[in-house]
Amino acid sequence: MDRTYGEMAVTSIGPLSFMAGDKGLEKVAFLPLNTLKDILENNTKTPSLKGFETINNLLTEINAYLHGLLRSFTAEINWDVVAPYQRTVLELVSTIPYGEYMTYGEVATTLGNSKAARAVGHALAANPMPILIPCHRVVSADHKLHGYLGGVEIKAFLLALEGHQVIDHRLKIAK
């Protein structure tokens, strides 16, 4: 499949790289583009026009989001790049509104298996499109920030950007 790549070399959270194809966005990485291309399998040389349109739109939207001017994204996501269970988890997480959060256990319970919090965590840890699929909005039951593809500092930054107070890698919850 033909793919198009894009990069934001300098952002408030470091470099971001993107890959999109004919079915939409396939990858967001907290890496410089050359590094992303080095680690990808099937690194095609033929660009995708649809991918170019997706990346072009995404660059504008990510920039606006990181400056607090955008709350949701319009980029089409290629769900074919994720396994079925992970897709179920990511589709649910993609509905968590800007400025809100869920716990891993709440996600698991919503999916019908309250004992699957760890499986939810594993699915989110492999999220190929962080930020757009907002896995940063999922925290532990004690509101502590755990693993994030870009690092816990970026997770804290994104949650703070969306209006949460984060102290010592934990959401401060108003009582």
The verdict on whether 135 is a catalytic residue reads: yes
Contact call for residues 62 and 130 (beta carbons, < 8 A): no
**Among 13, 33, 135, 159, which one carries the catalytic annotation?**
135
The pair of structure tokens assigned to 162 is 């969306």
Burial 134-153 (b: 16+ CB within 10 A, else e): bbbbbbeeeeebeebbbeee
The 3-state DSSP class for residue 21 equals strand
Residues known to be catalytic: 135
